[in-house]
């Protein structure tokens, strides 16, 4: 018998994928689907990206240096310097999206059977990528009521296992939008220091923080510099998910040497996109300043309207462009399916992401959904009205 590997079979199928078939059904029936499930910003990429690529004279498309295009590494170094963080060029590695950066960090830091500690609900691809390298994830429980902020130091420490190698967290976070205070960031650093754990800081949403909420990048904590890996990406920062340009940064030289070997093992990252990305950093950092007010308004409208829907629980998150909400249903997967297959208002319905996929602890998040506010204001208003009418009809069946 031919068999496929256990570790690849252990990768969970995403709930989003599960719903895709129902979405196609809805579309076939002529129902318009408002996508609150997509985790990618909808703004146009700055034109400097395309202009720079069009200006490339050579029509050869060769491998670029494994660690990344020097022009881009230079720009990323400057970007961090402007934040107050100092990285040498050989401490910055360009990857094929933040996803590859996560994979390389897990490979470099963990043996098969090791564990990662992650506040949950968590980014579901953490689970998938960990399965690939046979690493298990333990959740640090957080709740809607606390706005998904971290529990006390004692409570976090209680979840450390003898095989725990690293604390992994996204800040601001997908899927909750929670942004950790300076004190929470320092709490994690203290725990990592005292318990000899690596910190994998996924900061791909770094700039997406509203109302001036104060946090701190792990790249600005000298006391844990030798045990920290920063995961970064242009996907969210520049609304350029399809470019596939991400970064790994560490001040630990031994680890940096491993990252170089991993990058060399796949020869090269993207080529044109890295050159375009350098132009984004060099010529249009202002893109972020322009897009923040748009996302803040969407968050405010989304949260204010949802808060008025009977039975819905939520706390307004500080950052990113997601929120997890509790719904007055027992099974949010069933409700999400039902919205796509049985319900529409003016031939329009809504696609949500069921919450359970964002938990590693069984039976958690069953009444929750993740909502991404990556639609314009008018569509957001329509979507909330559909959710409200849908909940009423669903619960009266």
- Interface ranges with ligand PLP (CB under 6 A): 39, 97-99, 123, 170, 174, 202, 204, 233, 235-236, 241, 246
Q: Which of 235, 201, 236, 205 is nearest to 220 (CA)?
A: 201
Calpha distance 44→284 (Å, rounded):
13
Beta strands, E only, the chain = 32-35, 92-95, 115-120, 136-141, 164-170, 198-202, 228-233, 246-249, 322-326, 348-351, 353-354, 368-372
Instruction: Indicate the residue among 354 and 390 with the shorter CB distance to ligand PLP.
Output: 354
Task: Describe the crossing of helices 377-395 and 286-307 by its angle, rounded to 10 degrees.
Answer: 30
In the complex, residue closest to ligand PLP by CB = 97
Question: CB of residue 240 vs ligand PLP: minimum separation in angstroms?
Answer: 9
Instruction: Indicate the residue among 233 and 336 with the shorter CB distance to ligand PLP.
Output: 233
Instruction: Indicate the residue among 200 and 340 with the shorter CB distance to ligand PLP.
Output: 200
Question: CB of residue 235 vs ligand PLP: minimum separation in angstroms?
Answer: 3
Question: CB of residue 293 vs ligand PLP: minimum separation in angstroms?
Answer: 21
Instruction: Indicate the residue among 94 and 339 with the shorter CB distance to ligand PLP.
Output: 94
244: phi > 0 → left, psi -120 to 50 → alpha, else beta; which?
Answer: left
Question: CB of residue 388 vs ligand PLP: minimum separation in angstroms?
Answer: 27
Question: CB of residue 188 vs ligand PLP: minimum separation in angstroms?
Answer: 16
Q: Which of 120, 182, 150 is nearest to 357 (CA)?
A: 120
Calpha distance 372→358 (Å, rounded):
14
Instruction: Indicate the residue among 22 and 126 with the shorter CB distance to ligand PLP.
Output: 126
The residues, ordered by sequence, that sit 6+ positions from 255 with a Cβ below 8 Å of its Cβ are: 108, 109, 229
Question: CB of residue 17 vs ligand PLP: minimum separation in angstroms?
Answer: 16
Burial (CB count <10 Å: 0-12, 13-18, 19+), residue 344: buried
Question: CB of residue 243 vs ligand PLP: minimum separation in angstroms?
Answer: 8
Question: CB of residue 33 vs ligand PLP: minimum separation in angstroms?
Answer: 21
Instruction: Indicate the residue among 95 and 349 with the shorter CB distance to ligand PLP.
Output: 95
What does the buried/exposed string (b/e) look like for 96-110 if buried means 16 or more CB atoms within 10 Å of the residue's CB?
Answer: bbbbbbbbbbbbbbb
Contact by Cβ (8 Å): 94, 246: yes
Instruction: Indicate the residue among 98 and 390 with the shorter CB distance to ligand PLP.
Output: 98
Question: CB of residue 236 vs ligand PLP: minimum separation in angstroms?
Answer: 6
Instruction: Indicate the residue among 107 and 385 with the shorter CB distance to ligand PLP.
Output: 107
Alpha-carbon distances of 239 from 208, 244, 278, 287, 386, rounded to whole Å: 12, 11, 14, 9, 27
Strand pairing report for 198-202 and 164-170 = parallel
Contact by Cβ (8 Å): 356, 366: yes
Alpha helices in 110-249 (DSSP H): 124-132, 153-157, 182-194, 234-237
Instruction: Indicate the residue among 92 and 309 with the shorter CB distance to ligand PLP.
Output: 92
């Amino acid at each position: 018998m031919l068999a496929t590997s256990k570790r690849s079979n252990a990768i969970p199928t995403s709930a989003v994928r599960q719903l895709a078939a129902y979405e196609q059904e809805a579309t076939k029936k002529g129902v318009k689907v408002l996508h609150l499930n997509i985790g990618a910003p909808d703004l146009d990429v700055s034109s400097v990206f395309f202009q720079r690529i069009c200006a490339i004279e050579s029509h050869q498309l060769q491998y670029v240096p494994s660690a990344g295009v020097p022009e881009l590494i230079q720009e990323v170094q400057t970007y961090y310097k402007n934040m107050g963080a100092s990285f040498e060029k050989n401490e910055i590695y360009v990857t094929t999206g933040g996803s590859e950066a996560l994979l390389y960090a897990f490979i470099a830091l963990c043996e098969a059977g090791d564990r990662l500690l992650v506040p949950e609900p968590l980014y579901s691809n953490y689970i998938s990528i960990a399965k690939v390298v046979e690493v298990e994830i333990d959740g640090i429980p957080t709740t809607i009521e606390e706005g998904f902020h971290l529990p006390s130091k004692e409570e976090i420490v209680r979840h450390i296992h003898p095989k725990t190698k690293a604390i992994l967290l996204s800040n601001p976070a997908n899927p909750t939008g929670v942004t950790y205070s300076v004190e929470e960031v320092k709490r994690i650093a203290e725990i990592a220091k005292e318990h000899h754990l690596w910190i994998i800081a996924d900061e791909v949403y770094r700039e997406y923080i509203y109302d001036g909420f104060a946090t701190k990048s792990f790249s600005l904590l000298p006391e844990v510099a030798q045990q920290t890996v920063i995961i970064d990406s242009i996907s969210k920062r520049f609304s350029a998910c399809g470019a596939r340009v991400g970064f790994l940064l560490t001040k630990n030289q031994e680890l940096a040497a491993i990252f170089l070997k991993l990058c060399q093992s796949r020869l090269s990252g993207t080529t044109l996109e890295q050159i375009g990305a350098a132009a984004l950093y060099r010529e249009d950092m202002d893109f972020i300043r322009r897009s923040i007010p748009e996302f803040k308004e969407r968050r405010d409208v989304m949260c204010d309207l949802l808060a008025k829907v009977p039975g819905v629980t939520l706390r307004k998150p500080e950052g990113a462009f997601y929120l997890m909400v509790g719904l007055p249903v027992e099974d949010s997967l069933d409700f999400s399916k039902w919205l796509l297959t049985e319900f529409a208002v003016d031939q329009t319905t809504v696609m949500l992401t069921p919450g359970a996929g964002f938990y590693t602890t069984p039976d958690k998040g069953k009444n929750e959904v993740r909502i991404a506010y990556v639609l314009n204001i008018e569509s957001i208003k329509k979507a909330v009205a559909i959710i409200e009418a849908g909940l009423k009809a669903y619960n009266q069946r």
